[in-house]
Structure 1
Amino acid sequence: MELNSPRFINRGNATTTLENCMNGNRTMPPKNGQEIETDTKAVKMVQQALVDLGYLTTYDEVDGQVRTKNKQCDLPI
């Protein structure tokens, strides 16, 4: 499956990272514990979307770090 939201497409390796996560081919952060610049960009893209949608309360939380609060967002699926 590919991302189709303008918010996430055509963002280079960050888009590939998110698509791989979405398709179950990797996790965020990676299981090997190595975070790379692409991961930080991908996390920021998702955090920004969560703030815009009201799931995170402040733009201060858009920092590229995976935190418990990011993981626990109650997203409708």
Structure 2
Amino acid sequence: MTVLDQFVAFAKDLPADRREPLDEVLGAIMATYSTEHAFSDAEAVELDRRVAEPKPEYSSPATIAELLGKRFKA
């Protein structure tokens, strides 16, 4: 049984008055879900590669500020 199956079983056992907040939260999650900006397969592979990098290199706060036009706390 998946977590989703377990959740559905749990939700079905709730009294009707306790399901309303659940309906609101799930509705909000579904309303914000979009594949419009999903990563392509190639982008996902590149992200996985970068996250697995044993010694990652990061831009300095000054470089970020230069690119974005505002300062960030280091």
Higher Rg: 2
Under a length normalisation based on structure 2, what TM-score does the superposition of the two structures give? Answer: 0.25
Higher helix fraction (1 or 2): 2
Larger relative contact order (CA 8 Å, sep ≥ 6):
1
